Structure 1
Amino acid sequence: MKAVTTACPRPLPSRRARPWTTRFAILSALLLCVASSVAAAAQLPIAVTASGNRADVVIGNPLQPLAEVSLDFQDATGLSPASLGVSAEQIDILDPVLLARLPNASLNALPGALPLLITIEPPVAGGLSFRNTGRMEIHTHAIPYSIGSSFRVFKAPLGGAFRDVTDEIAQGSTRARTTYGGFSQFLILADLRSTGTVIDEKIGWLRNKVAALPLNERGAFTAFLDQAEAAVDAASYSTALSAIDNFRARAQARAGQFLPNEWRATRTVDNQAGELVAGANTLTFSVAYLRDFGQ
């Protein structure tokens, strides 16, 4: 099925203090576009290449793809097109089941030009494993890049709630990047929630991950999160970013010996170190965004 490529209103470049009136104007424009570009869910053709620590996925027409996805692993074993388990579908952007999975359906909008759900669900018997983290980039010409863009990468377990996992939104049309300690489903959304709300959610997610660590590992990680949270509240962003850097560095230093740091297709281990690093990376993005563009 040919991808929808309707010309829709785009989010305006963010300003240091983006007014709520502008946010709602952006959302209204996106929703008007949605009404003219709804399509039933349909599987999209994909082409996957993989070897060593790198996999590339072309989604849609190979001559004019809807998106290109790259996955770079630190230390993968058994990586192949079959073991990766990638699929992509063009989705109904007004599907109530999908909207119920978003953090705030009134402030999260699927772009009408990119109604794309990417699923990476390696088969249990496929033999894929990796250590620590990997890096994912979704590159698309369907939505334009703008400074202070509201587009974000969201991730969810199969059928579960989506959360913002963005590390970077870069130019080259749009290149949306994230770090992963595991897989599942991915969307690009326009996120018009306040940045403070997003930061609170990311800190809360990391606190839940820390609570699952061995008891003797929790204290130092909790202290770094406390420092970061207090610094954000005080608008001391350099202090907050430093505390997050320390959190990430500790997770990397404890990986392997003190914290499990491997993901396996068998789902028999929990990549605790990788998830902590990935969570720290996306928290860094949001704190830096708040510093540079305001709420």
Structure 2
Amino acid sequence: MKKLLLTSKLLVAAVLLFAAGSVAAQSLPVQVEASGNTATLRVGAPNLSLADVTLTFDDASGLSPASLGASAQLVDLSDPVLLSRLPELAQLDSALPLLITVEPPATDGLSFNRTVRVEVHTHALTYTAGSSYRLFKAQLGGPFRDITDEIAPGSVRSRGTTDGFSEFLVLADVRASDTVIAQKFDWLRAHVAKLPAEQAAAFSDSIDAAEAAVASGNYANAIAALDTIGAEASAQAGESLSQQWSASGETHNHAGGIMAGAATLKFSIAYLRDYGR
């Protein structure tokens, strides 16, 4: 309880800083630990954690605190450049104006196969059933997109699967579920379209089946089709599908992208099933 109260005081101080007219981002300390296939990032002072980030790799090589290139900052809620990168109706919460960056240095040798599970855990936000909080990701300076595959209590644990890095935000997303799902289908189709035509065809057929099932309200069939896509991508990873992300940028992680795209689509379809449009 004392820890939560101290964290709340830090949050209030941060909000007051921006309310007073600060326009520059404020860097925060980040303590990083890494072992095996897991890395943890504690954002804030050691006894005043604003958020804890856990990265769980399928299969990492060269993972160390330095190889992650992790940083964090409080951002200006009215920054027009940042706001232009967010989808319409997806907004920063004033209780957590936190941008987390994981940008591994090209020379430090980090690579991984398939996917990374990202969890941002914070007591700054309050969990409710049907929460609109989502985990968003962007390339450096690029548009943010929803990669959520789970929102859990404690106070809020936002989780998502990714095939790469680098910037993460927790946003309150009040877009219609139909809109979100359509955009995620478009993203997954675009990713599959990068494959050779014959290989892409089987994935495209399953995407078509999932989309048709959503349109007819058969959410169980839609989720089953996406399970098939994820399982097939996993089975082909390292064989007919490239599966490696590397900090050097010399590899392509097609398997991880398809697996991550299917996972976040399943979340949004289940949300539509449970909470409506």
Deviations 1:24-82 (A, max 9, x none): xxxxxxxxx9x958753111011001121110100012112110001111111110000
User: What does 1:48-59 correspond to in 2, within 5 Å?
Assistant: 48-59=32-43
Aligned partner of residue 141 in structure 2, secondary structure: coil
Over the matched positions of the two proteins, sequence identity in percent amounts to 54
Separation in 2, partners of 1:286, 1:88: 27
- Deviation at residue 5 of structure 1 after TM alignment: 3.0
Deviations 1:153-182 (A, max 9, x none): 000100000000001000010000011111
**1:84 alignment partner in structure 2:** 68
Matched, 1:5 2:12: yes
Report the RMSD for the aligned CA atoms in angstroms.
1.8
Alignment match of 1:198 (pick from 176, 180, 186): 180
TM-score, normalised relative to structure 1: 0.87
Contact 2:10 2:48 in 1 (8 A): no
**1:23 alignment partner in structure 2:** none
Alignment match of 2:203 (pick from 221, 227, 243): 221
Contact 1:4 1:112 in 2 (8 A): no
Aligned partner of residue 189 in structure 1, secondary structure: strand
Aligned partner of residue 11 in structure 2, secondary structure: coil
Q: Give 1:174's aligned amino acid.
A: V
**1:60 alignment partner in structure 2:** 44
Q: Give 1:144's aligned amino acid.
A: T
- Deviation at residue 93 of structure 1 after TM alignment: 1.1
**1:241 alignment partner in structure 2:** 223
Tell me which stretches of 4 or more aligned residues in structure 1 moved more than 4 Å: 35-39
Separation in 1, partners of 2:273, 2:168: 26
Aligned partner of residue 190 in structure 1, secondary structure: strand
Separation in 2, partners of 1:150, 1:7: 23
Query: Number of aligned pairs?
Result: 267
Aligned partner of residue 129 in structure 2, secondary structure: coil
Q: Give 2:199's aligned amino acid.
A: E
Q: Give 2:74's aligned amino acid.
A: Q
Q: 5+ residue gaps in structure 1? A: 9-32
Separation in 2, partners of 1:156, 1:209: 15
Separation in 2, partners of 1:201, 1:3: 36
Separation in 2, partners of 1:233, 1:36: 44
**2:107 alignment partner in structure 1:** 125
Aligned partner of residue 48 in structure 2, secondary structure: coil
Separation in 1, partners of 2:10, 2:259: 34
Matched, 1:285 2:244: no
Q: Give 1:190's aligned amino acid.
A: A
Aligned partner of residue 49 in structure 2, secondary structure: coil
Separation in 2, partners of 1:267, 1:38: 39
Separation in 2, partners of 1:7, 1:75: 37
Separation in 2, partners of 1:55, 1:81: 8
TM-score, normalised relative to structure 2: 0.93
**Distance verdict in 2 for CA 1:3–1:88, change over 3 Å:** farther
Separation in 1, partners of 2:206, 2:94: 40
**Distance verdict in 2 for CA 1:38–1:233, change over 3 Å:** farther
User: What does 1:253-264 correspond to in 2, within 5 Å?
Assistant: 253-264=235-246
**2:247 alignment partner in structure 1:** 265
Contact 1:38 1:112 in 2 (8 A): no
